[in-house]
Chains A and B, each alone.
Chain A
């Protein structure tokens, strides 16, 4: 039967800390990322990717790009690696026997809600911090709490809600896209076992790239709006 689980499943405990299949995949992605960052940094492909990313973010952030590029670039690369890691053969298809049922040994990193949520909260903190730093605390809070007239009080209230809804929309956009892709591939492979899932795999490679791009680009756009001075 088709195995679909909305949350990552626990494989074993280390000192009472549950180790899920998604966590193992995350560690593998992190180690690969680390190796690439340390030993591959001078390879021309890596340089070309970082250069084109830099010039892409420069169109949004202009003179502040150098300051935020380490964050945005690593966000993009980490998300794209973890999206594509979930598509490798063996991920979600090697099963371990566990009690009555069986659970997959590996699960895509971003197909577990915890990872996108952590990234979204991190992004939220960076956006607020940069807003406070570059606009000034008093000026920045003025956007949210403004007692000049009833209308601006209401607008400030809406601004507060929209700031917090950024976390939810960031987290669920990434999680929803990647998880839906994995469910799609699982269902197609279940219906027609041979070759039929290939075009969907190609689509998922594209979706993984687009979602990484959208996540980092939206972060850049929100950063630039947070740092913009009010007129």
Chain B
């Protein structure tokens, strides 16, 4: 396999594996936030704020993987 093909495979693997962890994390965050909202509907707005914040942190990890794969792909 030549270097170009290996680069494509490497980029795909980087984002593919890198998206697993944040996917699980975001699912857990969303599920727990829904549970909390169901138990305490009055606190919905503050729970939503915290949930979006936590999702942003979890998602940042996937973005790092994306950046790595973009760097592999385009340089």
- Given A5-B74, A173-B56, A173-B59, the answer on whether A217 and B66 have CB atoms closer than 8 Å is no
**A59 lies within 8 A of B70 (CB):** no
CB pair A214 B52 closer than 8 Å:
yes
Chain A residues near B60 (CB-CB < 8 A): 169, 172-173
Q: Which of A13-72 contact B (CB under 8 A)?
A: 59-60
Given contacts A5-B74, A179-B70, contact A217 B64 (CB under 8 A): no
Supposing A5-B74, A6-B70, A59-B46 touch, asked if A217 and B52 sit within 8 A by C-beta, the answer is yes
Task: Given A6-B74, A179-B70, verify A217-B63 contact (CB < 8 Å).
Answer: no
Interface of chain B, helix or strand or loop or mixed?
helix
B3 part of interface (Cβ distance < 8 Å): no
Tell me the chain A residues, 166-190 only, with Cβ under 8 Å from chain B: 169, 172-173, 175-177, 179-180
Shortest distance between the CB of A76 and any CB in chain B (Å): 13
Assembly CA distance A116 to B28 (angstroms): 29
The minimal Cβ–Cβ distance linking A111 to chain B, given in whole angstroms, is: 12
User: B40 an interface residue at 8 Å Cβ cutoff?
Assistant: no
Which of B46, B52, B60 gathers most chain A CB within 10 Å?
A: B60
Q: State whether B49 touches A217 (Cβ < 8 A).
A: yes
Q: Does any Cβ of A come within 8 Å of B36's Cβ?
A: no
How far apart sit A217 and B74, CA to CA, in the bound complex (Å)? 32
Nearest CB in chain B: distance from A217 CB, A = 6
Instruction: Please tell me which one of the listed residues B45, B53, B59, B71 contacts residue A221 in the complex, with CB atoms under 8 A apart.
Output: B53
Contacts of B6 in A (CB 8 A): none
> Cβ of B70 and Cβ of A217 under 8 Å apart?
no
- Which residue in chain B gives the minimum CB-CB distance to A113? B67
A172-B64 in contact (CB<8A): yes
Among the listed B46, B49, B63, which residue makes an inter-chain contact with A173, where contact means beta carbons less than 8 Å apart? B63
Is the pair B52, A176 in contact by a Cβ cutoff of 8 Å?
Answer: no
Q: Are A172 and B53 in contact (CB under 8 A)?
A: no
Q: Is the CB–CB distance between B63 and A218 below 8 Å?
A: no
A111 CA / B34 CA spacing, docked (Å): 33
B31 to chain A, nearest CB (A): 19
* Chain A contact residues, CB within 8 Å of chain B: 4-6, 59-60, 169, 172-173, 175-177, 179-180, 210, 213-214, 217-218, 221
